[in-house]
Structure formats: C-alpha cells, structure tokens
Chains A and B, each alone.
Chain A
Amino acid sequence: MPLYMDVHNLLRAANPEAVAAAKQRDVEVQEKYGVKYLRYWLDPSTGHMFCLVEAPSKEAAFMVHKEAHGALANEIYEVVEG
C-alpha cells in the first residue's frame, strides 16, 4: 500500500483538541475508502499540519478528509521511509 504525507498550510483556530476531533472523524470514515491514517504532526502556532496515511491512491486519502470534515490537504506527496 502506498504511503502518503498530506500537508495542510493555513489552518486557523487549530487547537490540538479540535484537530484530534477532526482526525477521529477521519478514522470513522477511512475504511470505506480503504485508507488508514497513521500519525499526524501539528504546529498550532503557524497552522501547519502533516498527516501520514496509507492509501490506495491520493484520491482515496483526499476523499476521507472531504467526507470527514472538509479540511482538505493542500498538498499530498507519496513518500518512502528513509
């Protein structure tokens, strides 16, 4: 399964609790798309977030965010662990 890192650049009012709630909604809908969100990293001071996700495609990962909460990633990169 490909591994992707999705990047959010301009989040506002992105406190850790609200982000955790949004990530929980990802978990609730991800199975429908064959996706597994693994970990995420947040910089609440600048509104940047990075989500590591296993997905059959970028489009599948996109659809999970769209259905779960609508906060779409600005960029999605296929990555390999170094």
Chain B
Amino acid sequence: MTQERAATHLRSVAIAVTDYEKQVDFYENLWGLKKTESETGISYFAAEGSPEQYIIRVRKSDVNRIDLLSFGIRDPESVDSLANSLAEDGVRFASEPGSLKTPGGGYGFRFFDPDGRVVELSADVAERGFRVLEPREDIPQKLSHVVIYSEDPRSVMDFYQDKLGFKLSGWLGDFFGFLRCTPDFHSVAIVKGEPRLHHISFETRGYDEYLRAVGRVLQEGLPMAYGIGKHTPADSTFAYFIDPNGNTQEYVAPQEMIIDDAEYSPPVWGPGTPNDIWGTARSQNMPEDPTIARHTERDQGLWVAPPV
C-alpha cells in the first residue's frame, strides 16, 4: 500500500435515524456540535475546533442505519488510483469517482466494505473556518473515532489495512481491533458482533474539558450509560451516553499518538486487561463487555446505498 492510496483521516460519520428531530436537537443543543447546513430531512454538523466541513450527517429515515463512513485521501489522482485498485479486487461500488454534492464539494466515490457498510473516500473537499478551542470549553474539538461491529472482525480489519492503508494499533483479545490512519491510536475500531454501530467518539481539548462536557450533559438530565473511565488501549478515556435513537455516543480526551510506525509494536491485550484502569467507571445501562449488544439493532443499511 503506497501512501498515495491510503486514507488520510476520518472525515465524518453519516447516520440515518427514525426520530430525526430529536437527533438533530441532541447534536445541536446538547452534544455541542454546530449545525452548518440543513435541507429537508438532512442536517450537517461540524465541530468548532475542526476544519472539516462536517463531522456528522443525520438523515431522516424509516430505519436506523449507518449511511456512510467518510475518509479523506490525498488528491483526486489518488481517488482514481484507489478506485481502480478496488475495482480490480472485485469490490462493489455504490458510486463511481466524481464530483461530490455534499458541503465542501470535492471528488470521491463510495463502495461497500466486506460487511456491506458504505465507505466514502474523497479529496479536495473545502475546509471550513474553525478555531482552536480555548481552555475550559466543554464542546467537541473533532471527531475522534468510530467503532463498528462485525461478525468477522479479523477479515474486516485486514480489508481496511490491505485496501485502504490503515495501520494496526492493537488487538484486545481476538474480538476488538484498533486501526489508525493518522498518528491518533485509532480512527476506526472493529468489535465482534452483529454488524451495526458500536459508538461514535468525539474528542475534547483535554481532560478538564472532557469532564466539563460530561458534567454539562449530566446536568441537562441525560444519564451516563458507562463512565467515566480510562480504557487500557490508547490510554483512552471514555464516557458513553445513549442518544434519542439508541446510538452510543462518547466523549473522549485526546488519545495516544504513534509517531514512529517502524518502532511501534501493536500490542495484544489479553484476558484480565482492565476495562477501566482508573477504576472510576460505573455502568448504568450498558454492559461493560464490549461484545454484548448495545442499544441499536442490526444495521438496516448493509449493502444498500443511502439515497443521498
């Protein structure tokens, strides 16, 4: 895998939900995102601290599903090169390379990963005006990572590494794999289970801002499902909440960054690895075992291209 054909970063996650109005209200008025554009039945949300045009898209639907996982790629030539490579490998496309109509435009295409999730790769998407967050600001500064379930996590992990240039950051047993496409420890992780969303994670500026964000949501009356704590992989803090459509959303403080890929050896954390190394987390309505089903059902969008 050459660098030209590798995903450069996680741009956005698009979800479709049955209760659209409540989801929009959740992201805009509780979670701390900024609604940048909306049309009938679809809204785009940016993070104040990120130049990414949008990090979340919500679409009104009669089923709950992941619409898109969207990643950056270096330039339009790399888009074409990677599209050709995937076509040669027999990967099924949802759209051919072309101009994108979503905010920021750009050039990209969509295809199905081995579980049938739709992945978008794009280049030349215009960046938005943003600002580096100040100390004590209790809102997300960027999209951190997305975690998805797969019945065969190893083969899906292999696909993202072999076809899209992701690097392995580690495994928790043989049921939870972590992948990076920037120095951040993970942008994508895959956990064993029926295909659906595990959670979407939003990074705050630091630990103080993470706690302030958690506190703000609690004060607004939404109970925390599981947290606050720190996972062993990535020294990654966690605080999980359930949104109005049953999706798990997480606040996380900045995670580890891996600088020298050649020096780094991806760990395999075995049985007995503490789920919370701080010992502060309490589970209210979420199983601590990550392989046990969360609040969403099997993804209703597998192998079906979203209409937008």
| Contacts from A to B (Cβ < 8 Å) | 8-15, 17-19, 22, 47, 58-59, 62-63, 66, 69-71, 74-76
Highest count of chain B CB atoms <10 Å: which of A8, A12, A74, A75: A12
Main secondary structure of the interface of B (DSSP, over half): loop
Complex: how many Å from CA A10 to CA B262? 18
Which residues on A sit within 8 Å (CB–CB) of B258?
12-13
Q: Can you report 10 A-B residue pairs in the complex whose CB atoms are below 8 A from each other? A: A8-B257, A10-B235, A12-B264, A13-B259, A69-B183, A70-B182, A71-B182, A71-B183, A71-B257, A75-B206
Complex: how many Å from CA A61 to CA B11? 20
- Decide yes or no: A63 and B263 within 8 Å by CB, A70-B9, A70-B182 being known contacts: no
Complex: how many Å from CA A14 to CA B262? 11
Closest CB in chain A relative to B168 CB, distance in Å:
13
Contact B260 A15 (CB under 8 A): yes
Q: Does B298 reach chain A (CB closer than 8 Å)?
A: no
Closest CB in chain A relative to B71 CB, distance in Å:
13
Contact A62 B9 (CB under 8 A): no
Which residues on A sit within 8 Å (CB–CB) of B131?
58-59
Contact A14 B132 (CB under 8 A): no
Which residues on B sit within 8 Å (CB–CB) of A59?
130-132
Contact A70 B183 (CB under 8 A): yes
**Besides the contacts A10-B235, A18-B260, what 19 more A-B pairs have beta carbons closer than 8 Å?**
A8-B257, A10-B256, A11-B259, A12-B185, A12-B256, A12-B258, A13-B259, A13-B261, A18-B263, A59-B130, A59-B131, A62-B132, A70-B182, A70-B183, A70-B184, A71-B183, A71-B257, A74-B206, A75-B205
| Chain B residues touching A, range | 20 to 34
- Decide yes or no: A12 and B51 within 8 Å by CB, A62-B132, A70-B9 being known contacts: no
Which residues on A sit within 8 Å (CB–CB) of B260?
13-15, 17-18
Q: Does B245 reach chain A (CB closer than 8 Å)?
A: no
Complex: how many Å from CA A82 to CA B285? 52
Q: Does B254 reach chain A (CB closer than 8 Å)?
A: yes
Closest B residue, CB atoms, query A61 = B132
Contact A19 B183 (CB under 8 A): no
Contact A76 B9 (CB under 8 A): no
Closest CB in chain A relative to B171 CB, distance in Å:
16
Complex: how many Å from CA A70 to CA B205? 16
Highest count of chain A CB atoms <10 Å: which of B9, B183, B206: B183
Closest CB in chain A relative to B119 CB, distance in Å:
20
Contact B132 A74 (CB under 8 A): no
Closest CB in chain B relative to A78 CB, distance in Å:
11
Highest count of chain A CB atoms <10 Å: which of B8, B185, B205, B259: B259
Closest B residue, CB atoms, query A18 = B260
Which residues on A sit within 8 Å (CB–CB) of B132?
58-59, 62, 76
Q: Does B232 reach chain A (CB closer than 8 Å)?
A: no
Which residues on A sit within 8 Å (CB–CB) of B263?
13, 15, 18
Which residues on A sit within 8 Å (CB–CB) of B130?
59
Complex: how many Å from CA A38 to CA B51? 24
Leading 9 A-B pairs by shortest Cβ distance? A18-B260, A70-B182, A13-B264, A58-B132, A13-B260, A13-B263, A71-B183, A14-B259, A10-B256
Which residues on A sit within 8 Å (CB–CB) of B255?
10
- Decide yes or no: A22 and B205 within 8 Å by CB, A10-B235, A70-B9, A71-B183 being known contacts: no
Contact B259 A66 (CB under 8 A): no
Interface residues of B in 1-30 (CB under 8 A from A): 8-9
Contact A18 B183 (CB under 8 A): no
Closest CB in chain A relative to B34 CB, distance in Å:
16
